[in-house]
Amino acid sequence: MAANSNLERAPNGRGYLSRPLVKHIYTADPSAHVFEGKIYIYPSHDIDAGIPDDDLGSQYAMRDYIVLSMEEPGGPVSAHPVALKIEDVPWAEKQMWAPDAAHKNGMYYLYFPARDHQGVFRIGVATSSSPAGPFVAEREPINGSFSIDPAVFVDDDGEAYMYFGGIWGGQLQRWATGEFDPCGSDSDLSQDDKPALCAKVASLTADMKGFAHAARDAVILDGAGRPVLGGDHDKRFFEASWMFKRGGRYYFTYSTGDTHYLACAIGDNPYGPFTFRGHFLEPVQGWTTHHSVVEFKGRWWLFYHDVQLSGKNHLRSVKMTELRFNSDGTIQTIDPFTD
């Protein structure tokens, strides 16, 4: 199964901080939630479709979702039957990338990106009475949705928000004008001295199936209160939005993409702006970093992925490790390797 002949040591000669949660399938982009007293994880399901690597992510050819669950950290992990497959989504053609889930109104909601039949990424929603599914998809994507990586945060007052977007293969740069530009707007990624493209945020309607307003920019500021610039690849947003709340503050976390960090920016409301407060996961083995953060019984946990089992960027495995905070509320940096 694995291309790496020594699974206890990474190519850099170091050991691994954590171990894959499951080994019989490849899983990535984990979105973890506490539902019904258990931890449920909604990952991508990586497969090897024989497609060469490229910067648009063509090799990430996922076609369905399988939900994982555990009673407690460190305990056995269950992989449930297929929760949703692309053949059951009328509007979608391919590439069911990183999903998320939410619970409200006695119903479970699965949010997922996929390319439509015109090759444009949209975001869909599917529902189930069970956190593990199966889920039934709406016939059309969410109106006004685009790009990838939906992450849904339900605040203490019950208001729900979706954060989404990803550059490069995620097509966010092609929406810079508010309309999809199939070929010409990638130049926005080369404007290093201008504010970086932002993730998007929108509150959801009461039925959790639509946007209550047009998506807004989730602006990330540097320490001087200025928008992070496109050329600052160690700070700017690339993909993998995740929001959580702690101590009354809103933690917008994300991946820097081509510099391979997980980063955190903190604000005082769900819309931002959010001030950059550092990296909290150093680069893992493999190209991508995508994560979630969840509190369970008073402890905080980071879910992430790497390629320990396969050695291939498009065949990843979900892991978890405890997350700790500094006295000022910032997140302590995690090294995914051990000596």
pLDDT tens profile 164-179: 999 999 999 999 888 8
Tokens of 79: 């992989």
Q: What is the topology classification, in CATH, of domain 15-338?
A: Tachylectin-2; Chain A (2.115.10)
Distances in Å between the Cα of 110 and the Cα atoms of 25, 40, 134, 194, 269 are 20, 12, 10, 35, 24
Mean pLDDT by 10 residues, the chain (339 residues): 62 97 98 98 96 88 97 97 98 98 96 97 98 98 98 97 97 91 69 95 98 98 97 97 98 98 98 98 97 98 98 97 98 97
Which residue is catalytic, options 46, 100, 149, 239? 239
Distances in Å between the Cα of 118 and the Cα atoms of 57, 110, 143, 144, 146 are 17, 23, 16, 16, 13
Task: Give ∠ CA 287-16-55 in degrees, rounded to 5.
Answer: 5
Q: Check if the beta carbon of residue 277 is closer than 8 Å to that of residue 328.
A: no
How many beta carbons lie within 10 A of that of residue 158, not counting itself?
A: 9
- The model scores a pTM over 0.85: yes
Which residue is catalytic, options 8, 29, 36, 258? 29
What residues contact 275, with CB distance under 8 A and at least 6 apart?
220, 221, 222, 223, 225, 265, 266, 267
Q: Check if the beta carbon of residue 294 is closer than 8 Å to that of residue 300.
A: yes
Burial group, residue 29, by CB count within 10 angstroms (0-12, 13-18, 19+): buried
Residue 5: per-residue pLDDT: 43
d(CA 142, CA 203) in angstroms, rounded, equals 12
Residue 183: per-residue pLDDT: 74
Is 239 noted as a catalytic residue in this protein? yes
At 237-263, the pLDDT tens digits run 999 999 999 999 999 999 999 999 999
> How far is the first Cα of the chain from the last one, in angstroms, to the nearest whole number?
26
Is 140 noted as a catalytic residue in this protein? no
Residue 4: per-residue pLDDT: 44
